[in-house]
Amino acid sequence: MEEKHSLNAKLYDALRKKDADMVKQLCEDVDEHGLHILTIHDDTVLQAATYAKTPDLVLRLLEDLPDRHLDKLTRQNHVGNTILHETAISNKSLEVAKKLLEKAPGLLCMRNYMGETALFRTARYGKVKIFEFLAKKISGYDEENQRQFLQRRDKTTILHIAILANHFELALQIAIKFGQLVGEQDADGMTALQLLSCNREAFQRADVLNYGPPMKIHKKLEDELSRNVNLMKEAEERAQTEETKRAQAEAEMAKIQEKMKELEAECVSRFGRSYEEDMGEGLMKGEELGLKKGKELGKEEAMEEVKTHLQKVYNSGFRHGWKSALIKTEQPEVSELFLHANTPLPYPDAGLKDSDDEEDEGEGEEEEEEEEEEAEKEGKEGKGRKEEGKEGEGRKEEEKEKTKGEMAQEKDQCQGDGRTEPSTGLPDVVDLTEQTSTTPEQPSSL
């Protein structure tokens, strides 16, 4: 600690004596060179050399500064000032400002704790040369980005501060170069023209200086203010016109949106109707196609079933015929030829009916024999009835002949006696014989 204090004392004494060689030699003995913190206010050797107004020494220290320490050029002291802030208060330090911005361009936009940039400090201290140099650096920025260089946190602009510091020539230059600052208000709501009007000293100096810079800047500020007022009026008129156009455009847009909603609703309605119609038509066609397809499939299935059934019936008939042929050829009942497997069916894939199983064939044969016996018995009974019918018919003929003979005899007798008998009795007899003749025929009709 004592060594540090001793070194700082030697450096401070060399700066006071403006002994550049001693300062340079002492800085070489420390690691940070010219960026070594020298005072209790956190000022570096470079800042102290700037206070001493020794720009040549500052340039030499900057040349000797190692590249690894260039990032430390942005160091700030206890009020937030950088080496560029301190350089801005002297027109003799113009070359130093150029060298600093070459090594650390970020110094240009750095603010101290009051929100002032190096450009702002040039306006406060009226340093025209450095002001012009730094103002040129920001000339390519738009107004919004220039604001951080031209106005500090309490809304005071460089035009305000130049008038307050009585740097009227610089204020006139600022009003010309940065016209947007003419109508700007500070924290108290004061414009630059109002501040100038309140500065009695400015007009006293104008009388002495034969209407010098204060009057010029006053005229310039009035003209600029008038121009800004006109611009504001024009802007308001344009804004009103644009507002009217915007309202009309919004009304047109609302109409268009309403029309779009109506068209959308109509489109949805038509789409729904079309969908329902298409669905109905599709359902009808689907039903027709389904019925047609179902009929075709049902017909195919029915025909297939009929075909299979007929094939089975044909196979069954062939099976019975096969067995009858085997029986007629007096084949033994235990012969394998009676088996289903050995029957040469015409449709082997169809098979036989369920009732044609080998187990049920015995019962089927007995039933067939019984049916044949009943048929023979009925045939005999029918034959007997036919013979009886023939006999009955013969008796009828004989009775008719006999009746006719008796009637002829009675007629002859009546004619011989001269009597006439009504002929109405004959039909009754005939009818009676016909009725009696139908009686024995009734069993034959059964």
- The model's pTM is 0.48
> Using CA atoms, how far apart are residues 323 and 332, in angstroms rounded to an integer?
11
Tens digits of residue pLDDT in 382-425: 555 656 555 666 666 767 777 766 676 666 655 555 544 444 44
Tens digits of residue pLDDT in 56-102: 888 988 888 888 888 888 999 999 999 999 999 888 889 999 999 99
Please, which pLDDT band fits residue 321 given cuts at 50, 70 and 90? confident
Length of the chain: 446
How confident is the model at residue 442, as a pLDDT? 40
How confident is the model at residue 349, as a pLDDT? 75
Please, which pLDDT band fits residue 273 given cuts at 50, 70 and 90? confident
How many CB atoms neighbour CB 255 within 10 A? 10
With a cut of 60, say whether residue 435 has pLDDT above it: no
Please, which pLDDT band fits residue 122 given cuts at 50, 70 and 90? very high
Joined together, the tokens standing for residue 289 give: 């196609």
With a cut of 50, say whether residue 305 has pLDDT above it: yes
Instruction: State the angle between helix axes of 213-328 and 200-208 in degrees (0 to 180), rounded to the nearest 10.
Output: 130
Average pLDDT, the chain: 76
With a cut of 70, say whether residue 445 has pLDDT above it: no
How confident is the model at residue 280, as a pLDDT? 74
- CA nearest neighbour of 139 among 128, 129, 150: 150
- CA nearest neighbour of 150 among 178, 126, 172: 178
Please, where are the H alpha helices in 329-424? 358-417
Q: What angle do CA 60, 68, 24 make, to 5 degrees?
A: 25
Residue 184 to residues 103, 162, 190, 243, 269, Cα–Cα distance (Å)? 34, 14, 8, 26, 61
Please, which pLDDT band fits residue 119 given cuts at 50, 70 and 90? very high
